[in-house]
Structure 1
Amino acid sequence: MRIARSMLYTQSINGMNGSMNTILRLSEQASSQKRINRPSDDPSGAAMVLDLQEHINSLAQYDENINSAKGWLDTANEQLGTISKTIIRMQELANQGATGTLTDKQRGLIAKELRELQVQLIGLTNGDYAGNSLFAGAAIDSPAYEVGLGATVENAKPTLVHSVKGDAKKTIAIKFPVPTATTNVGDVAIPFKYSEDGGKTWKDATIPAGVTDTLSVRLGGVEVNFKKGEQIKQDTTMRIRPAAIYKGSIDGEAKASYYGVNPSLDPVARGEFKTPIAIRIENDPSVSIPGTTPVPTPPAPAVGDIEYSYSLDNGASWIRATASADKFLNIPGGQLDLGGTGTLTKGEQFVVKPIDSAIRIEISAGNSVQVNSVGSNFFGGLYADKMTGATGPANGLSPEKNIFEVVGNLIASLEMDDQDGVKKCLGNLKLANEHITTETGVLGGRQNRLSFALDAHGKSKISTQSRISAIQDVDVAKISTESERAQYIYKSVLSTSAKVMNLSLLDYLR
């Protein structure tokens, strides 16, 4: 086989380049302390490192979420601690007010301090984190409560008073010295007496007769709206006293949407709904609101009726129903007020969707923590129905655990010099405070979950980093030995190549 001189040069250069590449590769690994500096170094190892690094990045994002959630819950916990101290002070004042030796003037002074504490309590429940309301449910862009007035009704339904508006510096007492045993609001004018000075003096007033849903009476700077049709007895009494009006969202509340061409409709859902409900108009071809005679198609609906269907499973199945066109559409969980007049056409739809009052932050894959709270579940208060405007105790709490209503009645009892009423409120204050303490424990449980998740993430990061190091990092002793060996080989290649290059044909012939 003939060996050309060009082949010697090529082989020598290839040997030198190969040895140099090995030296450069080992030098890079020694410098970076990593075995894999680019995907081509170890494709499968590089892919595994990328997956593990992605896991670490996701843990870093979850840690940011946890810190944000901690901010929410820590702030809420601090607010609840101050709220608890405020309630303890209220209990101290109630204890003083229940003492039999106190005069009405002394009880009045205690009531003044309680009014200030109630305003402070409302301010604390309106606490926020980074501008987001802590206790307003999903309505995080507005305060949870506002100062208002409520009515405590005795010997009649609480719904006798539809709502109270205005401002009163002191409790207003109302009594009905009517001649008959029972009278319905609106049927006739109903005289009554009211006192603005704790029952010392009384003034005359009258609930007018009328056909409207509510009938209003002005008592100084206060407007009391009575519900038409409610019964008043001879021994019916009431007190108009301080209250807190809850403005946030509540569990079970729902938003109604209309999908049709009638611009005057603004539907409102009333009730408590667990799942979305679709409502479809079935009148052919149309029906008016309030109802007129629809075009008859067999079987013809009654004059003025709305034929509709509702679905609880996203339209997979429908249930037929009928309603008078000037009333609500009954659906599971409540009713749908069509909210306007005009024409409904066959096929038009409404959708009622429950509002989720909880705001949740994801702290790990498939695991989230609620960071806000529904204030009415903690503190109660009064809630104004968004459709009718009727004001009543917020759902979810018994009267003795509704701290704002308990405090309102306590103030009224002190201003009316009602020692028995003060004693009753004192017991309820204790129950309300115990309820808030229990709810605070729920927040504490959420905080513990965050701590556990943060600890788990830290351990997972350490484990993952160890796995990455095992795949990617170099063995320093091994790389040092291989580097020395590569340099020795390179020097040998240089030496051998130099000697070969000096050979000529004369050397061969000799």
Structure 2
Amino acid sequence: MRISTAQFYESSAANYQKNFSNVVKSSEEASSLVRVNTAADDPVGAARLLQLGQQASMLDQFSANMTTIKGTLGQTEAVMTSIGNVLQRAKELALGAGNAGYTDADRQANASELGQIEEQLLSLMNTKDENGKYIFAGSKGDVVPFSRNTDGSYTYNGDQVTLDLPIGDTQSMATNSTGWEVFQQAINTTRTQTTLTAPAVDDGRVVLSNGQVGSDVTYNAKFRSGEPYTVSFLSSTQLQITDALGNDVTAEASQGGVFSSSNAATQTVSFRGLDLKLNINLKSGDTTPDTVIAGHSFTLAAKPDSFNTSRSPGNPSTALVTDASVTNSTDYHASFPGGGAILKFTSATNFELYAAPVTANSKPVSTGTMAGTTATASGVSFTLAGTPGAGDQFSVAVNTHQTQNILDTVSQLKTALSTPTNNDPIITQKMNAAVTAGIGNLSSGMDQLASSISSVGGRGASLVTQTDINQSLALANTQTQSAIRDSDPAEVMTRLTLQQTMLQASQLAFSKIAQLGLFNKV
């Protein structure tokens, strides 16, 4: 086969360029020890490296998220611990106030300190983080979570939404604890009330306290189904309890309803999960105790739901809701939003009731027209002062009394201890019952707080475990990337030496063959 001079030179040049390119590429690889720089170097390896790079970025983001969560959990736990210490002091003051040797002045001193504790609690529960966000407001970081109402009670203004961040491929973790969960869900142990129905004027001979829930299970299973109850005193030693249907259920009361009237000492009547404090105060001249005690009666039932209402700052009018109460129990339980409502006026007389929060797709749960100064929606009557305007909105928060904010508990304790007894035994008995109720609710609030602290600790422990998992994944990721991308130094140097030898050989072959041309023989 003949090979022209042009073909020979072209072939030799191409071979030389190929060998030279290989030497240059291998030299760069030997210098950087990186095998895959572009997809052309290894298409499959490059695709795998892209996936591993994305995973590495996610692992870095998980690590940043966990650092954020650790910081917020640390601050939350510190604040909760401080609140627990403050509540412990409040409980000590309440226990001390029950001392028989305490005077009104002693109790007033305790009440003053409870007032300071109340302010301290409010400040701690409205704590902000380093970014100026309220840590217990849920997703409403710019809204003060707890505020004092005009009647001295407290309202939670945040929501129940936790702010979650991913810390693993399939795991997210809450960065915050909502005030609703930590402070609003403490079981209210004094969620029932007694009301004297006979005689028409309280003679002070029989003092029966509001019930304190001792067993939630029994209370929910038995008590609620039979209320309201009537507690009737048949004699100076026997009471009778009948349920809403008139059935005699006295057998379920402690000692079958038998009590002592020999002195005014507090005695406990237990009934369907409730403990009631009873005092019998016979007066001088009561020679026939049965006569003066028989005929006293009380109603006993769960406290009715109450409502806190507030006007929207953007309302066109200055109208206010001055009172709200349940007037139709059936309608109320059937349709009133349990999580809060918005009362919206479409004119000066027409209104609509929505479940909170109101969105573009919200539909009213009820509508109506005012009757005088009253707007009745879903069984609840709202009394207004002033004429509402179209567009007026009022937020309605429902208090079912099943739970109680610890701020309300401290405030109620302060009020009870601030009221002078003037050594009046009946006032003292009522004050002692209020203190006992306060101690029970403080214990419940501290239990709820302890549960929340435990939740924070559990999340912290999960972070430690997930950190170890992510670190293992990051190490495996790095090793896999290295195995795909990085070169073996020995293999690279061997290949480079071979390619340099081939380059030198091609140069030598070119020069030798070039001398065999016809013109070299002339």
TM-score w.r.t. structure 1 length? 0.56
Paired position in structure 1 for 2:28: 28
**SS of alignment partner, residue 133 of structure 1:** coil
Written as runs of structure 1 = structure 2, the 5 A alignment for 1:69-80 is 69-80=69-80
User: How many residue pairs align between the two structures?
Assistant: 334
Paired position in structure 2 for 1:234: none
Q: Flag the 1:251–1:441 CA change in 2: closer, same or farther, 3 A.
A: farther
Structure 2: how far apart are the matches of 1:10 and 1:492?
A: 17
Q: Flag the 1:341–1:112 CA change in 2: closer, same or farther, 3 A.
A: closer
Paired position in structure 1 for 2:427: none
Paired position in structure 1 for 2:469: 456
Say whether the 8 Å CA contact 2:94–2:439 is kept in structure 1: yes
TM-score w.r.t. structure 2 length? 0.54
Alignment pair present for 1:269 and 2:354: yes
Alignment pair present for 1:8 and 2:93: no
Instruction: After superposition, give the CA deviation of every residue in 1:174-232 in whole Å (9 maximum; x if it has no partner).
Output: xx9799xxxxxxxxxxxxxxxxxxxxxxxxxxxxxxxxxx9xxxxxxxxx9666899xx
Paired position in structure 2 for 1:18: 18
Paired position in structure 2 for 1:415: 418
Q: CA deviation at 1:479?
A: 0.4
Structure 2: how far apart are the matches of 1:455 and 1:290?
A: 63
Say whether the 8 Å CA contact 2:342–2:354 is kept in structure 1: yes
Written as runs of structure 1 = structure 2, the 5 A alignment for 1:112-261 is 112-129=112-129, 130-148=131-149, 149-150=151-152, 155=194, 252-253=339-340
**SS of alignment partner, residue 409 of structure 1:** helix
**SS of alignment partner, residue 40 of structure 2:** helix
Q: CA deviation at 1:120?
A: 0.3
Alignment pair present for 1:447 and 2:460: yes
Instruction: After superposition, give the CA deviation of every residue in 1:38-76 in whole Å (9 maximum; x if it has no partner).
Output: 111111211111111111112222322332233332221
Structure 1: how far apart are the matches of 2:40 and 2:437?
A: 80
Say whether the 8 Å CA contact 1:289–1:341 is kept in structure 2: no
- What is the identity, as a one-letter code, of the residue corresponding to 1:431? S
Instruction: After superposition, give the CA deviation of every residue in 1:394-451 in whole Å (9 maximum; x if it has no partner).
Output: 76x2x5xx42222122212211253443244234322321121012212222333333
Written as runs of structure 1 = structure 2, the 5 A alignment for 1:490-505 is 490-505=503-518
Say whether the 8 Å CA contact 2:355–2:364 is kept in structure 1: no
Written as runs of structure 1 = structure 2, the 5 A alignment for 1:325-340 is 328=377
Instruction: After superposition, give the CA deviation of every residue in 1:351-409 in whole Å (9 maximum; x if it has no partner).
Output: xxxxxxxxxxxxxxxxxxxxxxxxxxxxxxxxxxx8475774676x2x5xx42222122
- What is the identity, as a one-letter code, of the residue corresponding to 2:486? D
Structure 2: how far apart are the matches of 1:263 and 1:227?
A: 19
Q: Flag the 1:484–1:93 CA change in 2: closer, same or farther, 3 A.
A: same
**SS of alignment partner, residue 146 of structure 1:** strand
Say whether the 8 Å CA contact 1:265–1:341 is kept in structure 2: no
Instruction: After superposition, give the CA deviation of every residue in 1:450-494 in whole Å (9 maximum; x if it has no partner).
Output: 333333222211112222111111111100110111111111111
Structure 2: how far apart are the matches of 1:136 and 1:437?
A: 19
Q: Flag the 1:226–1:468 CA change in 2: closer, same or farther, 3 A.
A: closer
Paired position in structure 1 for 2:39: 39
Query: Identity over the aligned pairs, expressed in percent?
Result: 23
Alignment pair present for 1:405 and 2:411: no
Contiguous gaps of at least 5 residues in structure 2: 154-189, 204-306, 308-320, 328-336, 382-386, 421-430
Q: CA deviation at 1:146?
A: 2.1
Select 2:486's aligned residue among 473, 480, 486.
Answer: 473
Structure 2: how far apart are the matches of 1:143 and 1:473?
A: 55
Contiguous gaps of at least 5 residues in structure 1: 158-175, 180-213, 215-223, 231-249, 282-287, 292-325, 343-385
Paired position in structure 2 for 1:200: none
Say whether the 8 Å CA contact 2:97–2:417 is kept in structure 1: yes
Instruction: After superposition, give the CA deviation of every residue in 1:3-30 in whole Å (9 maximum; x if it has no partner).
Output: 2222222222112111111111111212
Structure 1 window deviating more from structure 2 (72-81 vs 145-154): it is 145-154
Q: Flag the 1:391–1:329 CA change in 2: closer, same or farther, 3 A.
A: closer
Structure 1: how far apart are the matches of 2:364 and 2:92?
A: 58
Q: CA deviation at 1:142?
A: 1.4
- What is the identity, as a one-letter code, of the residue corresponding to 1:74? G
Paired position in structure 2 for 1:171: none
Q: CA deviation at 1:280?
A: 9.1
- What is the identity, as a one-letter code, of the residue corresponding to 1:132? K
